[in-house]
Amino acid sequence: MKANYQPKPPLLVNAFMAFYIMHDLQVGVGINGFQRYIYMYAKHDSWVSVILVGLLVHLIVFLILKTLQLYGSTDIFGVHDDVFGKIIGKVFNAIFIVYCLYATLITLINYIEIVQSWIFPETPIWLFSLSLFLLMIYGITGGIRVIIGICFFNVIISLWVLFLLLFPLKYADFSQLLPVLDTNPLGIIKGTYRMTSTVLGFELFFVLYPHFKEKSKVQLYSHLGILISTIVYVAIMVISIAYFSPGQLVSNIWATLTMFRISKIPFIERFEYVTIAYWMIIILPNLMFYMWSAIRGMERSFKVVEKKSLLIFSILLFVVSLFFKTRLEISRLNQLFVPIGFYLAFCYPILLFFLAFIKRKWKSNKEQAL
Amino acid sequence: MRQYKKWLLVFIILLLTGCAKPKTLEKIGLVTTKGYDLEKDGKIKGSLVILTVDPNAKQKTTIITTKALTARGNRIHSDVMSSKKLLSGQLRVVLFSEAIAKHGIKPFTDTFVRDPSISDLIYMGIVDGQTEDLLGIVNNQIPDVGQHIYKEIDHNVRWSLIPSSTLHETLQGNYAVGKDPVLPILKKTKNRVRISGVALLKDNKLVGKLNFYQSYYVRTLQSPLKSGAFEIPISGESLGLTGDHLPHKQLAVALDTVLSNPKIELINKENLEFNLNLKINARIQEINADIDLKSPKTIQLLEREIANQMKKDIRKIVAYCQSVQSDPFGLGETYRSSVRHANLNRKKWHKIYPKAKVNVNVKFTIAKTGIVE
Amino acid sequence: MEKIIRPIPPTTEEMTLALKKGLQNSADLMVKSAGSGMTLLYIDTLIEKLMLHQDILGRIKDESFSEIDAIMGEITVSDIKKSKNLDEAIMAVLTGSVIVHLNGDSSVLLVNIPSDEKRALSKSENESQVVGSQIAFNESLSTNIQLIRRYLADPNLCQEMFHIGTRTHTAVSMLYIKDIASEEYVNNLRERLTSIKIDGIIDSAVLSQLIEDSSLSLFPQMTVTERPDLVSHWLLNGKITVLVNGSTLAICCPHSFIEFFHTMEDINVRWHIATFLRLLRMAGVFMSIFFTAVYVAVLTYHYEIVPQALLIPLSESRARVPFPPLFEAFLLEFMIEFLREAGSRMPTKVGQTIGIVGGIVIGTAAVDAGFTSNILIIIVALGALGSFITPSYTMGNVIRILRFPLILLAGCWGLYGIMFGFCLLLLHLLRQTTLGAPFMAPFYPPRFADWKTNIIRLPFTYTSNRPIELRPKDEHKYNPEKAKKQK
């Protein structure tokens, strides 16, 4: 496998799409109830944790893109191959693919849990799972442009959801944010650690990067995307702290949805029923990006045709998704994801950057010596 | 590719076989109001007001009363007495009798908040007397008592006559460190529903009551207001009104369009001391005596007189609240948010709260005197 | 396989026989001797008789010619050519030519004098408009080209001819402006037109289905219109038009999804109104697709989201209906479709009666009988209105049938089902292309510069560029700098 990978022109998109993709990847099913875990540790200073995570993501994405720029146009599979060699590189690629599948599963199961506990408690999991896989397969077979297309549409047409955040303001008491920075720093850092799993998604730029037309501008637009999603997260966090009292926030699994439920307009009230159904289009691009990254990895690294691995992975994940029925099982699955996501998406890119940097330096020195 | 599409079609048809369980609007009984009484044997008597949708029916509601050990149990018992499946997605008001409230409303609010179909904006209230009697009110002017109570509470909250008491706010007050919720008290008077005051809660339990006159102060001290109407009795002595000038026994002023701005300051952390500053700006609607409102001096006197009266009233209310250990004004929140590393919790706050010293300052301004002088 | 060229038989008898055989002894084949070895062969019903007598017979009668070229100089018809191919001659006879045969010569003259029977130009019936020209295409290809050329007196307006159909030999003409239209799209369309293998096409609507990108898709990817002004406007933007002989409709492509909701009137009226109308149309279409489905979803599954003020009227209107909302909605939607189909096949006057019968009699009776709720009648009627709002008839039909799967999904899964349908629809739209160009442009791929001309409409002073989604060679309609200076 060649490290450099240059997709055909029809598969390329403009660099400014990086903004939409980044924003969309970071905002997913997690936004419905991330407050609780952070609040447990960071209390009313949770918004500081959210900002810290935002800064951290800026740093990591900077390194991710720098790593890829060392090679001109490549993805993580090419980098692995170059840095670790053929065989170990394949092992790392396999780990990344499994991680992508895990992330797909997490998103899927958490969304299904929301739908089941809020709207249709009696409807079996396989129905929701099957319907989402149908959409995924239909979208992914359309190619990367279709996936990016639905991601772009989603960002544009989902703007209305932000207006729902105005309703809780009526009941908000911003003095609950005071005194600022009262929690001990350890608590804030613990909260930051818990927050990392919510903002995941940016690591897929490892795979998406070759598909941007003007590579030099990707850095700028992706950081803009991170900025916007961080602002969204901070806004939601601040409003939740003001809207709920501490006890409520800690016990509420889906605080954002609970805030939506007080919004009403003359012909609809209880907006959470609308937003839960609507969330399908918000998580759909996330599911498709993760799944697509996995099948890209299969093709790049193991030479398996995309359609074949798509079918195999879909069936596999569909069957696995049927086993997660209770809140406890899902919670355990989520808990397990926190360290995995943290080490793979936050720590590993730093390591990979230095390895790749040294490797390139070494290689160019050797070439010069010759 | 063709093969793929064929499979897609098969799957979509498969999906359609798994319909969700329908809750068709006309096949369900919509519970709009719930009321809970305590029976002598410790059981809970639940009364559910169910909306009747038949356009030809004279009676717009049905009331089902059952006895059970839990609130949920009441629902199950009611289901077997109803022609339609009862669901509470359109619930608007929940009422508790005083006896229930004294035992604590936590088990009830807990089930409500656990149920995704119940809105967070339902109003909670306490009934002076039996809720069953109150919900049993039927007359020509009130065809649907459930809606009637909801609208009655709702418009009074909107026009700032009583403190808002939605499920969310009640829970927020109950879970907050230094704040306690208040609930309106409803009373059956002459076959009508009357809001007679507010109930003070502490740890989900009813601990004290304020009358309607006092409840307005509670509302004023909670947050800035932009509306509201108010009748305040004052003594006429300083205005020079005595004897014959007074048409009634008690001189009183009616105010409306009240703009008020309360401010709570913590001035001493160690020996708890608070400043309760209230700025009120209002329009005079009526005075039941012959007073010359043209003269600035009279206006000044009147302002001072009203401010003094308010100060006296508020002091009384604060003292009462402290005596029952309930903090509807959020003094504790002020303490928590202005003292670093206070590590305040509810228990601690309830212990030190009665000992706190509260200074009340009121600044009252007459903004307008109506469209004539 | 190489086709053998059959030569023209030199003798008159043999030629007559060959032609009679070639045309299966057709009764209207006329063989007329014009003296001194000259024979005219033609189909009586296809030629212009006046021209036959004036320009052919009148010139060559009573004269004798030694060779065919001499006759060619005498005849005063412009469309004339020499041929040695018998099959070509037979084909020419079928399209209104007269064969002039000289005994002993192995080549013939083909004089094209077709009788041009055509309808007079009339008002556009199906795409009427208030502001703007009223003329519509008719069935004659030459007239239609003439109409477009009158709007566009541009030497760069190219016209390419094709004959499609092994049996019908329908004349098909492709028009584009050479220095505007993208080469890629022109080549693409030319290739599609030449590669069609079919026995015959009767109308351009058929042709458009043969050359569109995906025939499995619900949505048409090329539009047809009967307005020459609209076609000219689109040609100016860099689109390609295909005209078919015998059809009143012109095919225009590439045509993105949003352009199906544009009309010529958007250009003609002032920009505020045009913008409003465009947004109104979008809202109408959205409503038409989703309204009934949302009604079904809310009444079947999500009674919680109904506000209290709406709850009583809604439940009272449903109280007497014996069917579940899904069935009720289908009943009423099908009723509207019946009425619509009945109305469109009827003569105009009877059609109006159908509308009254449907709207007033059946509608009122259905509510009185307790079959449907009157709120649903309002919703379904609004939905029908919304689908009529679509200017393109082909797209309107799609909007019309899209409702049914969505209602079914709503009846099964409530709002979740509607969202599933919406996602599927969006994915489907994103996968489509029109002549190789993305169908959802300018939304995706995002061409923000085109939003001001294609989604809303800004004044012409702000829109000096052609839509870039058509990749025009010449991007500027005019030079904004120059225009400013002249002012």
Q: Are B142 and B215 in contact (CB under 8 A)?
A: no
Strands B273-287 and B357-368 come out as parallel
C38-43/C80-83 β-pairing: unpaired
Taking the C-alpha atoms of residue C384 and residue A138, their distance in angstroms, rounded to an integer, is 30
Q: Cα–chain-centroid distance for residue A251?
A: 24
How many other β-carbons are positioned within 10 Å of the β-carbon of residue C281? 20
Give me the pLDDT at residue C176, please: 95
Chain B's closest residue to C217, CA to CA, is B5
Evaluate if residue C450 carries a pLDDT over 80: yes
Tell me if residue B278 falls in helix, strand or coil: strand
Provide the token pair at A366. Answer: 């050797």
Spatial separation of the C-alpha atoms in residues A240 and B168, rounded to whole Å: 13
The answer to pTM > 0.80 is yes
Residue C445: cis peptide before it, omega within 30 degrees of 0: yes
How confident is the model at residue C7, as a pLDDT?
86
Instruction: Please give the C-alpha separations between residue B179 and each of A165, A241, B349, C30, in angstroms, as whole numbers.
Output: 24, 16, 9, 108
Q: What is the pLDDT of residue C52?
A: 86
Per-domain residue ranges for chain B?
A: 26-221, 223-373
**How many Å lie between the alpha carbon of B306 and the closest alpha carbon of chain C?**
41
Residue A310 phi, psi dihedral angles, 5° rounding: -60, -45
Considering only CB atoms, B168 lies closest to which of A119, A131, A262, namely A262
Task: Flag whether pLDDT at C382 surpasses 80.
Answer: yes
Q: What is the C-alpha to C-alpha distance for residues C377 and C380, in angstroms, rounded to an integer?
A: 5
Residue B42, chain A, CB below 8 Å: the answer is: no
Q: Would residue A214 count as lying in a domain? A: yes
Q: Is the CB of residue C455 less than 8 Å away from at least one CB of chain A?
A: no
**Within-domain flag for A315:** yes
CATH class of residue range B223-373: alpha beta
Residue A336 has a pLDDT of 92
Beta-carbon separation of C318 and B150 below 8 A: no
Q: Is the dihedral of CA C426, C430, C431, C433 positive or negative?
A: positive
How far apart, in Å, are the Cα atoms of B41 and each of B45, B105, B128?
A: 10, 18, 20
Any CB–CB contact under 8 A between C313 and chain A? no
CB proximity A280 to C under 8 Å: yes
Looking at the complex, report in whole angstroms how far the Cα of residue C428 sits from the nearest Cα belonging to chain A.
Answer: 8
Helix axes A46-69, A215-243, angle to 10 degrees: 170
CB contact under 8 A, A280 and C419: yes
Distance from CA of C299 to the nearest CA of B (A): 5
Q: Are B199 and B151 contacting, i.e. CB atoms less than 8 angstroms apart?
A: no
Whole-angstrom Cα distance, residue B16 to residue B14? 5
pLDDT at position B204 is: 87
The alpha carbons of chain A give a radius of gyration, in whole angstroms, of 21
In-domain check, residue A85: yes
Contact B26/C319, CB-based, under 8 Å?
Answer: yes
Mean pLDDT of the A294-322 span: 92
**CA–CA gap between residue B196 and residue B200 (Å, rounded):** 13
* Three-class secondary structure of residue A152 per DSSP: helix
**DSSP secondary structure code for residue C227 in this structure:** -
**Rounded Cα distance, A80 and B185, in Å:** 70
* CB spacing of B22 vs C306 below 8 angstroms: no
Q: Which residues of B touch C416 (CB under 8 A)?
A: 20
Q: Does residue A311 sit within a domain?
A: yes
Q: Are residues C325 and B24 in contact, defined by beta-carbon separation less than 8 angstroms?
A: yes
The crossing angle, in degrees rounded to 10, of helices A76-84 and A348-369 is 60
Note the pLDDT of residue C64: 80
Adjacent-strand bridge partners of B260: B225, B280
Chain A: give the shortest CA distance to residue C198, in Å.
30
Identify which of A123, A176, A179 has the shortest CB distance to residue B18: A123
Q: What is the pLDDT of residues C222-265, one digit of tens each?
A: 999 999 999 999 999 999 999 999 999 999 989 999 999 999 99
Residue C400 CA to residue C395 CA, distance in Å, equals 9
> 3-state SS string over C27-73?
CCEEEEECCCCEEEEEEHHHECHHHHHHHHHHHHCCCCCCCHHHHHH
Q: Which residues in chain B touch residue A171, judged by CB atoms under 8 angstroms apart?
A: 166, 168-169, 172
Mean pLDDT of C35-60: 85
Within a domain: A202: yes
Structural domains counted in chain A: 1
pLDDT in tens, C75-127: 888 888 888 888 888 888 888 888 988 888 888 888 888 887 788 899 988 88
For residue C445, name the pLDDT band (cuts at 50, 70, 90): confident
DSSP C476: B
Range of the domain at A360: 9-369
Query: E-assigned strands of C150-201?
Result: 157-164, 170-177
**Given C414, C424, C440, which is nearest A149 (Cβ)?**
C440
Whether the pLDDT of residue A94 is over 80: the answer is: yes
In B98-117, the residues whose Cβ lies within 8 Å of chain C are 117
Could you check whether the bond before residue C442 is cis, i.e. omega within 30 degrees of 0?
yes
What angle (nearest 5°) sits at the alpha carbon of residue C99, between those of residues C95 and C100? Answer: 155
**Torsion angle of C-alpha atoms C257, C259, C261, C266, degrees rounded to 10:** 160
Which parts of A179-271 fold into alpha helices (H)? 185-195, 205-208, 215-243, 246-251, 255-260
C-beta of residue A4 within 8 angstroms of C-beta of residue A73:
yes
Among candidate residues C381, C386, C408, the one with its CA nearest the CA of residue C399: C386
pLDDT at B271: 84
* Residues of chain B with C-beta less than 8 angstroms from the C-beta of A175: 333-334, 337
Which chain B residues are closer than 8 Å to A117 by Cβ? 116
Query: Quick check: C170 pLDDT over 80?
Result: yes
Per residue in C320-357, pLDDT (tens digit) is 888 889 999 998 999 888 888 887 777 777 777 777 77
For chain B, the C-alpha Rg in angstroms (whole number) is 26
Closest by CA position to A300, among listed A193, A192, A206: A206
CA–CA separation, C229 vs C266, rounded Å? 12
At residue A224's C-alpha, the angle toward residues A222 and A229, to 5°, is 95
**Chain A contacts of B4, Cβ < 8 Å?**
137, 141
For A56-79, how does the pLDDT look when each residue is reduced to its tens digit (9 = 90+)?
A: 999 999 999 999 988 888 889 989
Mean pLDDT along residues C172-194: 94
| pLDDT tens profile B2-44 | 566 667 677 667 666 777 788 888 888 889 999 999 988 888 8
Taken in order A8, A10, A16, A17, the sign of the CA dihedral is: negative
Locate the chain A residue with the closest alpha carbon to C423: A281
CA atoms within a 13 Å half-sphere pointing along the CA-CB vector of B281: 9
Q: What is the mean pLDDT of residues C387-397?
A: 89
All partners of chain A with 3 or more CB pairs under 8 angstroms: B, C
User: What proportion of chain A, given as a percentage, has pLDDT over 90?
Assistant: 60
What would the pLDDT profile of A205-247 be if each residue is shown by its tens digit?
Answer: 999 999 998 888 999 999 999 999 999 999 999 999 999 988 8
Give the containing element (helix H, strand E) for B283: strand B273-287
The pLDDT value given to residue B241: 62
Closest by CA to A154, choosing from A27, A290, A292, A295, is A27
Give the CA distances from residue C201 to residues C117, C167, C206, C207, C373, in Å, rounded to whole numbers and listed in that order: 20, 9, 6, 7, 47
Residue A2 resides in a domain: no
Judged by CB atoms closer than 8 Å, whether chains meet at A261 and B173 is answered as no
What's A196's domain CATH number? 1.20.1740.10
Q: Say yes or no to pLDDT of C1 above 50.
A: no
pLDDT of residue B125: 92
Q: What is the Cα Rg of chain C in Å?
A: 29
Q: Which chains touch B (3+ CB pairs under 8 A)?
A: A, C
Contact flag C315-B92 (C-beta cutoff 8 Å):
no
Per-position DSSP letters for A13-62, written without gaps between them: B-TTHHHHHHHHHHSSGGGGS-HHHHHHHHGGGHHHHHHHHHHHHHHHHH
Cβ–Cβ below 8 Å for A277 and C305: no
Q: Is the pLDDT higher at C368 or at A186?
A: A186
User: How confident is the model over A7-56, as pLDDT tens digits?
Assistant: 888 888 999 999 999 999 999 888 988 999 999 998 889 999 999 999 99
pLDDT lower than 70: segments of chain B? 1-6, 8, 11-12, 14-16, 58, 236-249, 369-373
Q: What is the percent of chain A with per-residue pLDDT over 70, rounded to a whole number?
A: 99
Residue A280 confidence class, pLDDT cut points 50, 70, 90: very high
pLDDT tens by residue, C285-325: 999 999 999 999 999 999 889 988 888 888 888 888 888 89
Q: Residue B2: its pLDDT value, please?
A: 54
Give the whole-angstrom CA distance, residue A266 versus residue A284: 30
Q: Express each pLDDT in A163-184 by its tens digit.
A: 999 999 988 888 888 888 888 8
Residue A1 lies in a domain: no
Question: Which residues in chain B touch residue A178, judged by CB atoms under 8 angstroms apart?
Answer: 337-338
Q: Report the residue from A145, A156, A280 with minimal CB separation from C420.
A: A280
Q: Mean pLDDT for chain A?
A: 90
